[in-house]
Structure 1
Amino acid sequence: MSLEQGLNRAWYGKPKSLLLLVPLEFLYRLIVALRRRLIRPQSCGAPLIVIGNISVGGSGKTPVVLAVAEYCQRTGYKVGIVSRGYGGCAPQYPYLLTNQSTPAESGDEPFLMYQRSGLPLAVAPDRLAAAKMLVEQHGCNLIISDDGLQHYRLARDIEVIVIDGERGFGNGHCLPVGPLREPIARANEVSLKIINGGNAGLSGFNMNLNGSMAVNLLSGEQLAIADWPPNQKRIHGIAGIGNPQRFFRSLRAMGFEVIEHPFPDHHDYTLDDVQFDDSLPVMMTEKDAVKCRSFEVQKHWMLPVSGEIDPLFYSALQSNLANVLHIH
């Protein structure tokens, strides 16, 4: 068991021995509170929507960013997206993605969002600088910040929190005893909440991740899951995301017999990681696929998913945007 897997088991179960670290948790909470009080937010020059969470690891933010960006673009905004670019090493910051960009430069999630949306997308540890570049140099009149809930230097008009409906807030503790980056009370301060699947007794707008078409990484062939050959349902499943079990369960719900291969979030893959001594197909998430496509292996497939969010969320979002524009 990896360190990440062990921590997740404690964070999303019973903390047990981690309770010895409660004094560090109190110190962490104090630092978080002071940091939030002392940092002065600055506007990027356009309305800004932050989409994030208060827990470590994935909760489904990327599909939400894409869904919200598509909706706002459809309603007439010139949308830009900013992200930290975690896992990437760009030649300079802020870094504007182009068709020549690579996941190694931008990070896997920004690369995926750029490919899927085609929208101006800039990455930088200083998201404020990235947002200002999109506004000043590319004429964006609405910025969406991916995973920037705790980036308090960036002034925001609307906050959207995405919560993993299966795992909720884990054991309820902040780091290092639990998975929370901020206390649970922070979730009650945001404009809108989205619950990604599951039924953890949480209130918010429901979202389901839906994928019905597999895509071959070498040929680009698209194959509906409903048409997948019945004699090839035993597969290797690859997931280097915050909650790999969610992906494996979704594959099983589609009728696959899955040999699980979980990896740490944002894992930097080598061919040996995803090459097995058999002829079974390999199915991975789209986020993993952006780093594995260059291996050019015929039996590698990905399963793109889209977030289907309760339509009432968009009504609430539009109402919030109308209030923001009135303020501006």
Structure 2
Amino acid sequence: MRAPDFWEKDGRLLPALLAPLAAGYAAAGRLRQAAIQPWKAPVPIICVGALTVGGAGKTPVALALGRHLGSQGRQVHFLTRGYGGRDAGPLRVDPARHHAGDVGDEALLLAQTAPCWVARNRPAGARAAATAGAEVIVMDDGFQNPSLAKDLALLVIDGGHGLGNGRVLPAGPLREPVGRALARADAVVLIGEDRAGLHPILSDRPVLGARLLPGPEAQALAGRKLLAFAGLGRPEKFFASLRAIGADVAATVVFPDHHPYSADEVEQLCDQADRLHARPVTTAKDAVRLPPALRDRVQVATVHIEWADSAALDRLLASKIHPAGEAGEHPDVCRQLFHSPPV
């Protein structure tokens, strides 16, 4: 699925016509939040969610948090629904045995950093992770899922893309109304510069600034001629990042988000790249959906999150995931501790 153009800017007829459906979607979400009693896990739950559908950067933020907590000696496990996979879980992901069709692409990426559990029933997944030794669980997505209590709820927003036309699905890209989401968020992770005028909307929320930077493999592509392809929520963001590092992007090919690549498709992409005297390149999230036998024919451009203020991140984590009797007793302490400006 590609995001429709009218999700970008308001003032068009179609969003207005879809407004009644959007109101119904928002009302259903509100009722779901009110009707379900969240289960409290025996270990802290950090939820990395988004307001918009696709392309916000949740998984890179979840990975960065997992690495950050792991570097402090905590036993971190990831939890995800496993979107695009057929297994409902709870299941511990084994990258050597499972494929994207089994557990989804995000789960395979997360499992490369720390143990990852796929579970459509989030409480069951959290229980399994805690039983297996998790001291902290980082949940990729699930902000709108009320079944599991969150000790720290983060909303990831792309500073360049913002919130689109500001309308709820299907009239716009929002999963729920902005005010309702921000009221449940402990902080916002704002990736990149605020080019969408978000500051007034986020003025009463702690904001962690971050940047999405190319990894060494991507930086090595500077000056190279490339055929870039991706099946993401916002593939143009990937193509722009390649151009920004100085790569010569000779051609781009777009696939639907979470697209499972066939061997024929990869062969065709490689043949097209050969005709252009270019190197085929894709994202790490796409790479796990390539047929294993053909992965070495495609260059993978990795990315990572760089925090604007690591000390602010540590204060936020300490205020929420320490045991009761410490900073975790005070639900609003993180708002008093910092308000880090976005980069």
The two structures share one fold, judged by TM-score above 0.5: yes
Cα distance in 2 for residues equivalent to 1:82 and 1:96? 9
- Matches of 2:43 and 2:325, distance apart in 1: 10
Q: Is 1:19–2:16 an aligned residue pair? A: yes
**Equivalent residue number for residue 332 of structure 2:** none
2:258 is aligned with 1:263:
no
Task: Give 1:241-320 correspondences, 5 Å limit.
Answer: 241-258=232-249, 259-274=251-266, 275=269, 276-277=271-272, 278=275, 279-292=277-290, 294-296=292-294, 299-310=297-308, 311=310, 312-320=312-320
The answer as to whether partners of 1:85 and 1:123 remain within 8 angstroms in 2 is yes
Q: How many residues matched?
A: 308
2:17 match: secondary structure: helix
Secondary structure at the residue paired with 2:2?
Answer: helix
What letter corresponds to residue 32 of structure 1 in structure 2?
G
Instruction: Check if 1:167 corresponds to 2:161.
Output: yes
Equivalent residue in structure 2 for 1:184, among 171, 178, 181: 178
| TM-fit CA distance, 1:13 | 2.3
Structure 2: which amino acid aligns with 1:81? F
Q: Secondary structure at the match of 2:265?
A: helix
Question: Which position in structure 2 is the counterpart of 1:211?
Answer: 214
Offset of residue 198 of structure 1: 3.7
Task: Give the Å deviation of 1:300.
Answer: 1.3
In the TM superposition, 1:1-328 aligns within 5 A as: 4-5=2-3, 7=4, 9-14=5-10, 15-90=12-87, 93-98=89-94, 99-115=96-112, 117=113, 119-136=114-131, 138-189=132-183, 190-199=185-194, 200-203=196-199, 204-214=207-217, 225=220, 230=223, 233-258=224-249, 259-274=251-266, 275=269, 276-277=271-272, 278=275, 279-292=277-290, 294-296=292-294, 299-310=297-308, 311=310, 312-322=312-322, 326=326
Equivalent position SS for 1:122:
strand
Instruction: Mark the runs of 5 or more structure 2 residues left unpaired by the alignment.
Output: 200-206, 330-343
Measure how far apart 1:56 and its partner are: 0.9
Where does structure 1 lack aligned partners over 5 or more consecutive residues? 216-223
- Tell whether the 8 Å contact from 1:283 to 1:302 is kept in structure 2 after alignment: yes
Q: How much does 1:168 deviate?
A: 0.8
Amino acid at match of 1:29: A
For the residues of structure 2 that align with 1:75 and 1:184, how far apart are their CA atoms? 33
